[in-house]
């Protein structure tokens, strides 16, 4: 490429090859493979820093995947095998990953609208600029908008309510009785933590499949990898069986451990009135606080293209939509059970990168690529010199964004 830099104005006039929306684990993995293909691409992220989504989760959160099963392509997770990384370690890893491979990330840049231009390119509208690109990879992940059930509306204003996305630690809650609604991994881990200092009840909407972290002396993910269950296609008989069962495995928590921690298990929450919660068995409970560990819902209403999102369901086949050039990455069961997991998204990322790369394009010279892959990890963990935060610059009219494709994003003064 004769001119690898381009101003903000030129970004609107000269389409990129690919724009990746989301610079989390899926987006970064896509960036890694797009770099290898030699694509002119840019990653956009709504957050103030790479890894922000992880860093903003509750304080004690740890992965239930060991470090050796938690790596993105080209860079092992820097933690001891058999250890379970904290959420801050994951955030640091993602930030260091973006720096190590000089991925062009533009922060504080939520995409407000995605449309198609008359010449077949995509038009992305952000708060600061408009970009055009030939291909789009949506890698915003499945955890977008907190899902809060209807009974929340009927609780009194004196009942403290937090979704698990906003919960940080027990200090967020008042003294008194706490109800955790949701029996998945997040809800049960939060309930056990709160139970050390408060009376806790958990409303479980459906029966959960609970499995130990280390069955028969080996970590669960050793077994899932050895048996191939994490990499079986979603259309395979075993994958269809697990999908019909619904829900995720609850890992490392059991009804016995919950009761030992002092947690009281209750059936589905069916209603609420001021401070009174009502359950499916007809029982009632006076509560002082509620933690809604009820998951998230997707929201792609900003995609103004027909046949993609109907308000409830996303239409795609292995991440490829009926709109030529529009793909998704990091979705649950996009291709396999591991599609949305940190250490297993890389196969989908490689496949999607091939779908948006023109046939015959050569990637970087092998020597350059190998040198980049072997470069030592920077000492400044979490510092990403290749990442530019639009929110910390002067106004867009006074700045231009200079992009070195496949390398870095940095501000430059006119």
**Tens-binned pLDDT, residue by residue, of the chain (414 aa):** 223 334 444 454 568 999 999 999 999 999 999 999 999 999 999 999 999 999 999 999 999 999 999 999 999 999 999 999 999 999 999 999 999 999 999 999 999 999 999 999 999 999 989 999 999 999 998 778 999 999 999 999 999 999 999 999 999 999 999 999 999 999 999 999 999 999 999 999 877 889 999 999 999 999 999 998 888 888 888 888 877 776 678 999 999 999 999 999 999 999 999 999 999 999 999 999 999 999 999 999 999 999 999 888 899 999 999 999 999 999 999 999 999 999 999 999 999 999 998 764 444 443 444 444 344 433 323 333 345 444 333 233 333 333 433 334 443 333
Q: Where are the beta strands (DSSP E) in 5-100?
A: 16-21, 41-44
Rounded to whole angstroms, the Cα distance separating 267 from 56 reads 30
Strand partners, 348: none
405 CB-near residues (< 8 Å, 6+ apart): 1, 4, 16, 39, 40, 41, 42, 104
Residue showing tokens 């960036």: 31
3-state secondary structure at position 103: coil
Query: pTM for this one?
Result: 0.84
Domain with CATH 3.50.50.60 in the chain: 8-144+298-413, 149-208+247-295
* CATH, domain 8-144+298-413, list 3.90.550.10, 1.10.1840.10, 3.40.50.1580, 3.50.50.60: 3.50.50.60
154 phi, psi to nearest 5 deg: -95, -5
C-alpha 181/C-alpha 278 separation (Å) is 12
CATH number of 149-208+247-295: 3.50.50.60
Asked if 34 and 333 touch (Cβ cutoff 8 Å), the reply is: no
């Amino acid at each position: 490429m004769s001119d690898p830099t381009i101003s903000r104005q030129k970004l609107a006039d000269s389409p990129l090859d690919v724009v990746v929306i989301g610079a989390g684990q899926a987006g970064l993995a896509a960036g890694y493979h797009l770099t290898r293909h030699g694509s002119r691409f840019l990653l956009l992220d709504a957050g103030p820093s790479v890894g922000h989504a992880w860093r903003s989760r509750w304080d004690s959160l740890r992965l239930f995947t060991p470090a050796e099963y938690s790596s993105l392509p080209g860079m092992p997770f820097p933690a001891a095998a058999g250890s379970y990384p904290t959420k801050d370690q994951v955030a640091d890893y993602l930030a260091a990953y973006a720096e190590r491979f000089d991925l062009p990330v533009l922060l504080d840049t939520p995409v407000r609208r995605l449309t198609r231009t008359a010449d077949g390119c995509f038009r992305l509208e952000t708060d600061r600029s408009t970009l055009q690109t030939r291909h789009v990879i949506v890698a915003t992940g499945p955890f977008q908008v907190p899902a809060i059930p209807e009974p929340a509306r009927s609780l009194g204003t004196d009942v403290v309510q937090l979704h698990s996305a906003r919960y940080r630690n027990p200090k967020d809650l008042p003294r008194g009785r706490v109800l955790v609604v949701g029996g998945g991994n997040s809800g049960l881990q939060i309930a056990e933590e709160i139970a050390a200092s408060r009376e806790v009840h958990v409303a479980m909407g459906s029966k959960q499949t609970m499995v130990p972290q280390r069955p028969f002396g080996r970590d669960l993910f050793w077994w899932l990898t050895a048996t191939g269950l994490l990499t079986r296609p979603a259309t395979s008989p075993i994958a269809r069986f697990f999908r019909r069962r619904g829900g995720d495995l609850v890992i490392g928590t059991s009804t016995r451990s919950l009761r030992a921690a002092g947690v009281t298990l209750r059936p589905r929450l069916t209603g609420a009135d001021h401070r009174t919660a009502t359950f499916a068995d007809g029982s009632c409970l006076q509560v002082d606080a509620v933690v809604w560990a009820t998951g998230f819902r997707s929201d792609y209403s900003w995609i103004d293209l027909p046949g993609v999102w109907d308000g409830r369901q996303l239409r795609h086949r292995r991440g490829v939509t009926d709109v030529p050039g529009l793909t998704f990455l990091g979705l649950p069961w996009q291709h396999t059970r591991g599609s949305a997991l940190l250490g297993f998204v890389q196969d989908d990322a490689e496949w999607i990168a091939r779908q948006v790369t023109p046939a015959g394009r050569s990637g970087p010279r092998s020597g350059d690529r190998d040198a980049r892959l072997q470069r030592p990890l920077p000492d400044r963990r979490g510092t990403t010199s290749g990442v530019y935060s639009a929110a910390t610059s002067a106004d867009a009219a006074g700045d231009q964004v200079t992009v070195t494709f496949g390398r870095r994003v940095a501000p430059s003064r006119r």
